[in-house]
Amino acid sequence: MYIVIPINKFNFVLFQNVQIDNSSAMFEKWRKLPMPLIFKIYVFNVTNPEDINTGARPKLQEIGPYVYKEYRERTVLGYGENDTVKYMLKKTFEFDQEATGALREDDVLTVINFSYMVCLTNF
């Protein structure tokens, strides 16, 4: 058994469900994502910071991943011309200790300030 839907009707139904207004089926999922995004951070830790002060090259150790869950929520400020939506995006990050493993959010690491290093080498 087949159902024949004219293309114009299909496009209309699709548009009604994905447009961003209070009555669309996807509006609440767009406004507040139903699941978090996974955000992984890797850091290069300097293992010889004292030696760098005397001119040695840094020894780097890659540490990570530090895993965060990113939640996004939009607040609609208004609707503009040409089917546009004005909104404010709020991002919240939550540390995921289980996914991170043995690493902790309060680990003490030493990283290179590349902007500072560029200034030192150019002057």
pLDDT digits 0-9 by tens, 79-108: 888 878 899 999 999 999 999 999 999 999
Residues 78 and 113 in one domain: yes
Domain count, the chain: 2
Match 């400020």 to its residue by tokens. Answer: 77
Binned at pLDDT 50, 70 and 90, residue 6 comes out as low
Report the 10 Å Cβ neighbour count for 76: 15
Residues 55 and 74 in one domain: yes
Q: What is the pTM of this model?
A: 0.72
Domain interval for residue 101: 32-122
d(CA 113, CA 91): 26
d(CA 3, CA 10): 12
Residues 19 and 53 in one domain: no
Distances in Å between the Cα of 100 and the Cα atoms of 40, 64, 68, 110, 111 are 9, 8, 8, 19, 19
